[in-house]
Amino acid sequence: MSDEATTHYSAVIDQMTLGLRFLNDTFGECGRPRVAWHIDPFGHAREHASIFAQMGYDGFFFGRLDYQDKTRRMKTKEMEMLWRASESLTPPLADLFTGTNL
């Protein structure tokens, strides 16, 4: 998981590149993750979802969301969604299947 508190995109991309390179060197192509997971950040940036989608991830799950949002989503059965993470990129380039842990 890259640090969502980094102040510039280049730091996020550097962290992801380093991690993906380690996984590739250690496990080969079969070790490449297809789903991103943010364990417990305080908020989730649309830009991070966009970067994950552009890096080839299929999904993004996170562990914390506002309790009112969670209650509403559970009632309407919308715990999962397609996150259109960029207004400027042509879909589906920055679209990412997204959900949360219960």
CA R_g for the chain: 14
Q: Is 40 a catalytic residue?
A: yes
Kindly name the residue from 3, 14, 25, 40 that is annotated as catalytic.
40
Chain centroid to Cα 53, Å, comes to 8
Q: Which residues contact 82 (CB under 8 A, 6 or more apart)?
A: 95, 96, 97, 98
Residues annotated as part of the active site: 40
